[in-house]
Each structure stands twice: as C-alpha cells, then as structure tokens.
Amino acid sequence: SQQGEEDPQALSIQEGENATMNCSYKTSINNLQWYRQNSGRGLVHLILIRSNEREKHSGRLRVTLDTSKKSSSLLITASRAADTASYFCATDAGNYGQNFVFGPGTRLSVLP
C-alpha cells in the first residue's frame, strides 16, 4: 500500500535552478526520509527528518516537515545535470522502523 503521495510526478528544470518536490501522507509517522534513484538502479538515502523536527539541511538539500498537514517538501538548490533522477519520500509509521512505505516518486530532469 502507498502512504506517501509525491507532487509533481515529473519536473523538468534548467541547470542552476531550484527544484521543489512535495510529499503528502495519511497516517502518523515516526520519521520521513527522502531517497534518490538513478534510472533502474538502487536507491540512495538523502536525508531523514524525525516527526518532532520541522526543517533539516544537508548540503544543497533542504527538507521540511509539517505533521499537522501531513506533508513534507524536498528542495534541491542550484541543481545540476547529475541531479537527474527519481526522488521518493518514504514514511516510517513505527514497528521499530520496519514498515517502510514509499510514495510514487517525482522524476526530476535537470537540463544542461
């Protein structure tokens, strides 16, 4: 079953621009994570935000979490062609973190 819903489904931007992706979910969560997947490959963990946190930064990444609205956003600043990938949010609803549900993902294309 899918909990997270990403918006937009696809995003195309020019190199140097910022990219914002949104994720909504339905139930209470323990934490929310963002992953990147290059075409047909494994997923790479980007950032984790706990349910009691509102914002987190990691390099060019900024994640926000609004538990009242059950939503999160991922901002990638100064995008590069190498950022082209699919981005998934994943919610952890408990059970000692062994129940992960991924959202449908956003396909980001960064044009040189």
Partner 1 sequence: DTEVTQTPKHLVMGMTNKKSLKCEQHMGHRAMYWYKQKAKKPPELMFVYSYEKLSINESVPSRFSPECPNSSLLNLHLHALQPEDSALYLCASSSPGQIYEQYFGPGTRLTVT
d(CA 69, CA 48): 18
Segment contacting partner 1 by CB under 8 A, of 13-21, 41-49, 57-65, 74-82: 41-49
Closest distance to partner 1 from the beta carbon of 76 (Å): 18
Task: Out of 8, 16, 41, 111, name the contact with partner 1 by CB under 8 A.
Answer: 41
Sign of the dihedral through C-alpha 48, 54, 57, 61: positive
Task: Out of 44, 78, 81, 111, name the contact with partner 1 by CB under 8 A.
Answer: 44
